[in-house]
Structure 1
Amino acid sequence: MRAALLLLLLPATLSRADTCSTIATTTNVDVAYPISLDYISEQNKYWSTSCIALKPSCILFPTSAADVSIILQTINEGDESFAIKSGGHNPNNYFSSVDGGPLISTARLNEAVLDATTGVLRMGPGNRLDDIAAKLQGSGWTFVGGRIGNTGTGGLILGGGLSYMSAQYGWAASSALEYEVVLANGTIVTASQSENADLARALKGGGNNFGIVTTYTLQTYRQGNIWGGNVIFLHNDEVASNLLRAVRDFTEYNTDDRAAVIVTAERSTGLVIPELIDIELIDTWILFLFYDGPTPPGDIFRNFTEAGVPILNTAKTRTYSELIGGSNWVVIKGSVVTIGTETIPLPSSQDSETVMEGVHAHWREVSGKTLLELGIIASIAYQPFPKSIARQAKARAPDLIDADDEADRLILELNYSFIPQTDYNKMANTLEETYTGVRQRVLGWQEEGILQNVYCPVFMNYGFYREDYWDRLRPESRTFAQQVSAKYDPEGFFRNRTGGWKP
């Protein structure tokens, strides 16, 4: 019986090994096998240990679109699953990780060439946000990226990308002028508004369904010193009410698009933030404040900074590179990470307490049940999604998110990180309970007329694998993505052979 089983497994084993060995023996692409230093180093760069635990048969390190083309043609000859990794910050298993098949790392596709006159940047997906910020430092130009330096640029842009500067310039993807893309059959094409425009649109919020982007051409923007940092409060009911009201009011009333905030509540039974704070039992509010200029207007953040008595305030004038490079303390090493999301309509001022405190009470109830979990850090981040983001995105290029500027919204990021990998399913259920509870409350408030019945897409960059990303987009966007997929990947290579949400 055992011999028969081995014979059944042998073809699959040979198939998995074939891509790695073929690339290693017939090309100049570097191939790293288990136990090698390159393999171990790259495999340990995921944010979540659940992704680290998935072991690819080898890791491939292309340095050009031509290398990626050869790799995809070779993978096409077999039947193994594969994955593409930019920064490895997406914690969903199998989205940028794979078990038993080849992993394509973009780490060496890390060019960054700036035209100092026009601000046009050609950038490879192997860059992380802090890499690009450092490379642009001193140039007078900045890019619309995310908020955590260790984030990979590839996944960020393909998911849309929410930035401190989104109210000024739209999503990170909105500033993508052109893509160099390797299609499923190995063909290398350019996608822009003038060439393969349907593919260019699908890549803005469409994820990894249409090809591997090997170069992004982005418009950057003028920037000098900025002001930003963190303000931290210990939790109490008054601080919570003040901050929830402040983020609601900021989303509706702020008229200075250079200002941005993230309001995060965090609970843990043991958290150390290097150089910031060391508390054994923690129940805090952590504010991320940003102003695209050296000094914010005197009262623009007053409702936040005066919500209580802060125990720490690091906000100051600095370079954007310093801010982004100093943000990586939020990446918790050695933990399983799960992230989910919800988008909610902004409540009116009169209904703020009902909605904002209702959502927050639900989060505290569910997260409170996790506090005995080893290494637990539970957080909810309230992120403004004002009309200006949709307005700026539409002004630059069409995307699949297709947000309208008829209503203000909030994007909620819901995180649970913990240590035991054996508790993954249990904590996944907890995360699902958290975001479905928010959704149910929103639908109920809409039925009661407390909240507007507006379009609220799930934000891909924060989505949990159990959330139906495509179902929450407009039906037209899903249909369009299916058409683009059928045109550029008629055999369903990316649909059937790698992870992620499929249209």
Structure 2
Amino acid sequence: MSAEYGWAANQVLEYTLVLANASILKVTRDNYPDIFTALTAGGNNFGIVTSYLLQVYPQGEVWGGNLVFNATPETTSSLLAALRDFTENYPDEKAGIIMTSERTLGTLVNIWILFLYYNGPEPPPGVFDKFLAVGPNINSCKTQSMADLVEGNNWAIVKGSVYTIGTETTPVPSEEHGAEVLGSYYDHWVNVSNSAAFVTGVIASIAFQPLPKSIARAAKAKGGDLIDLDTEKDLLVIELDYSFSFNSDYEKIDQTMRDTYEGLRTRVQRFQEQGKLEKGVYLPLFMNDCFYPQDYFGRLRPEGKALAGRVTEELDPNGVWRDRTGGFKL
């Protein structure tokens, strides 16, 4: 689902699924279409997937790396404007970006880190120009193998920390309202994360991940999935992360995370009421980024939630997975 994978993303063709009664199904889109759809973004409500068959694509050299900026007000404003424009106009289907702001609250580090990716040895002129024009302090982008690109991001891993992750989804604002809307999201995150400033080792992150309608169309062309994104709407997935040193601080960070994504949701709805974001837009949550209390299934289309419910009743009528495992439940 994330744009950073470009159009070289692998596609599942078959699942091997162990059911609660210990029987085994080979599930394809043709032989069990509802089960296949439910498994494709439905989580662990239906059984244990022990293997899956992928359609893979050749992957040659790619271009990418990181841009790093000091998060001054001027830089933040310019990057958010470039992000809005990139998502709405999506200049190249082989291009992807994740734009992350990082704040290490104890040491007052405040930066933007952009992950850029192009599925080819070099992007054509113009694809990432608006981000580059802001003037990064560090630019590690180059032509390399996919393995080297992914390994090159290991520097951001903070070993030995406790991590929490949450999410929200927003329509892409118009150019007229982009600065106000995206700036409000960013300022809210800053203000809420400040409340955790005295938690030992805390690092707060907000990542904006473009989800243009061209990605939804590509997913639909491949057969679709349970999320069933709108093929006519541009969205932004907002990923929220807090890492910190000690489990004893989890209760504080738990509340901080809830305050962060709930506040973002409130702002999306308020801007819709004010006419600054389009009303009635389908805004599902990206399961990979959901915090445990978030209502993943409640944010699906009603028909998608109903399909997942039917499959659950068919495959696990006694509620083995519902009662004995974690994860998001119907």
Larger Rg: 1
Amino acid at match of 1:165: Y
Higher relative contact order structure (alpha carbons within 8 Å, sequence separation ≥ 6): 2
Match of residue 162 from structure 2: 336
Distance in 2 separating the partners of 1:399 and 1:257: 20
Partner of 1:237: 73
Residues 169 and 392 of structure 1 are in contact (CA less than 8 Å); yes or no, is this contact kept in structure 2? no
Task: State the distance in 2 between where 1:343 and 1:303 align.
Answer: 23
Distance 1:242 1:302 in 2: 12
TM, length-normalised to structure 2: 0.96
SS of equivalent to 2:68: strand
Q: In the TM superposition, what is the alpha-carbon distance from 1:259 to its structure 2 partner?
A: 0.7
Q: Deviations over 1:72-118 (max 9, x none)?
A: xxxxxxxxxxxxxxxxxxxxxxxxxxxxxxxxxxxxxxxxxxxxxxx
**1:93-132 alignment runs, 5 A limit:** none
Q: 1:287 aligns with which of 114, 128, 133?
A: 114
Partner deviation per Cα, 1:277-333 (whole Å, 9 max, x = no partner): xxx54100000000011011122111111213x221111000011112222233321
Conserved? CA contact 2:8–2:59, under 8 Å:
no
Q: In 1, Cα distance between the equivalents of 2:162 and 2:35?
A: 34
Give the Cα–Cα distance (whole angstroms) in 2 for the partners of residues 214 and 328 of structure 1: 28
Residue 339 to residue 284, structure 1, CA distance change in 2 (3 Å): same
Residue of structure 1 aligned with 2:196, choices 343, 356, 370: 370
Q: Give the conservation status (yes or no) of the 8 Å contact 2:68–2:138.
A: yes
Sequence identity (%): 48
2: distance between equivalents of 1:288 and 1:249? 17
**In the alignment, does 2:322 pair up with 1:498?**
no
- Structure 2 partner of 1:410: 236
Number of the residue aligned with 2:276: 450
SS in 1 for 2:4: coil
Partner of 2:54: 218
Which digits, 9 at most, give the CA deviation of each residue in 1:438-482, with x for residues without a partner?
A: 110110111111101200001100000111111111111111101
Deviation at residue 412 of structure 1 after TM alignment: 0.2
1:199 — aligned with what? 35
1:474 corresponds to which letter in structure 2?
A: R
Q: Residue 168 of structure 2 contacts residue 285 of structure 2 at CA under 8 Å; is this kept in 1?
A: yes
Q: Which residue of 1 aligns with 2:187?
A: 361
Partners of 1:187 and 1:255 in 2: CA distance:
47
**Contact 2:15 2:26 (8 Å CA) reproduced:** yes
Deviation at 1:169?
A: 6.1
Q: In structure 2, what is the equivalent of residue 162 of structure 1?
A: 2
DSSP-derived class of the 1:477 partner: helix
Gaps of 5+ in 1: 1-160, 271-279
Which amino acid letter does the alignment assign opposite residue 342 of structure 1? E
2:125 aligned with 1:298: yes
| Aligned pairs, number | 329
The two structures have a TM-score, normalised by structure 1, of 0.64
Q: Does 1:189 align with 2:29?
A: no
Q: How does 1:300-339 map to 2 (within 5 A)?
A: 300-308=127-135, 310-339=136-165
Amino acid at match of 1:452: E
What letter matches 1:200 in structure 2?
A: F
CA distance in structure 2 between the aligned counterparts of 1:281 and 1:365, rounded to whole angstroms: 14
Report 1:342-353 matches (<5 A). Answer: 342-353=168-179
1:258 aligns with 2:66: no
Is contact 1:169-1:393 (8 Å) kept? Answer: no
Q: Is the Cα contact below 8 Å between 2:60 and 2:145 reproduced in 1?
A: yes
Aligned-residue Cα RMSD (Å) equals 1.4
| Partner residue of 1:432 out of 236, 252, 258 | 258
Unmatched 5+ stretches in structure 2: none
Q: Secondary structure at the match of 2:25?
A: strand
Change over 3 Å in CA distance of 1:186–1:329 after alignment to 2: farther
Once residues 163 and 265 of structure 1 are traced to their aligned partners in structure 2, the CA distance between those partners, rounded to angstroms, is 18
